[in-house]
Amino acid sequence: MAAHPVRKLTSVLVVERIEPVIAFWHKLDIEPAVQVPADEGHLAFAIFAADGVELMYQTAASVRKDLVASASDAKAFRPDPQQATLYVEVKKIADIERRLAGERLVMPRRKTFYGATETAYTDPAGNIVVFAERDAAGS
């Protein structure tokens, strides 16, 4: 069987500013491993990474300057901040709740029919982050 052609898949979240999300992910020990400054003194792009977890943020201004400007079909890109929903499996939901105390809770803890205990918060950019602890039957 041929090797799968895809090596890695990472979400890129388009936001107005990256700096506000740094503290959110820091609470989960996920730090910006790469930070690209913009001309205006803010970050244009950042890669957050820790133990196999990777997430990218890019500002809308950077998307317009970088991607839209060089695209063969500029209309395909939506260079404005967009809401995304991330589904993150975790070891212990209680640890996440403790670490994110004070952050905007948008879905209190619930038990799902597919064997997960979930809760959801927004990052400071407005993206939804659903955290899920799978039980033995749902693994």
Average pLDDT, the chain: 92
Is residue 138 predicted with pLDDT exceeding 60?
A: no
**CA nearest to 139, candidates 120, 121, 117:** 117
Is residue 36 predicted with pLDDT exceeding 60?
A: yes
Q: Where in the chain is the domain with CATH 3.30.720.110?
A: 83-139
- Average of per-residue pLDDT across 76-92: 92
Query: Residue 4: which pLDDT band, with cuts at 50, 70 and 90?
Result: confident
Helix (H) or strand (E) holding 22: helix 19-26
The per-residue pLDDT for 117 is 97
CA angle 74/76/80 to nearest 5° reads: 85
Q: What is the pLDDT of residues 108-137, one digit of tens each?
A: 999 999 999 999 999 999 999 999 999 865
Is residue 83 predicted with pLDDT exceeding 90?
A: yes
Quick one: CATH architecture of 83-139? 2-Layer Sandwich (3.30)
d(CA 62, CA 65): 5
Q: Where in the chain is the domain with CATH 3.30.720.120?
A: 1-82
Is residue 39 predicted with pLDDT exceeding 70?
A: yes
CATH number of 1-82: 3.30.720.120
d(CA 134, CA 132): 6
The per-residue pLDDT for 125 is 96
Q: Return the exposure string of 20-48: e unless at least 16 CB atoms fall within 10 Å of the residue's CB, then b.
A: ebbebbeebebebeebeeeeeeebbbbbb
The per-residue pLDDT for 9 is 87
Q: Is 27 helix (H, G, I), strand (E, B) or coil?
A: coil
Query: Residue 139: which pLDDT band, with cuts at 50, 70 and 90?
Result: low
- Average of per-residue pLDDT across 32-45: 94
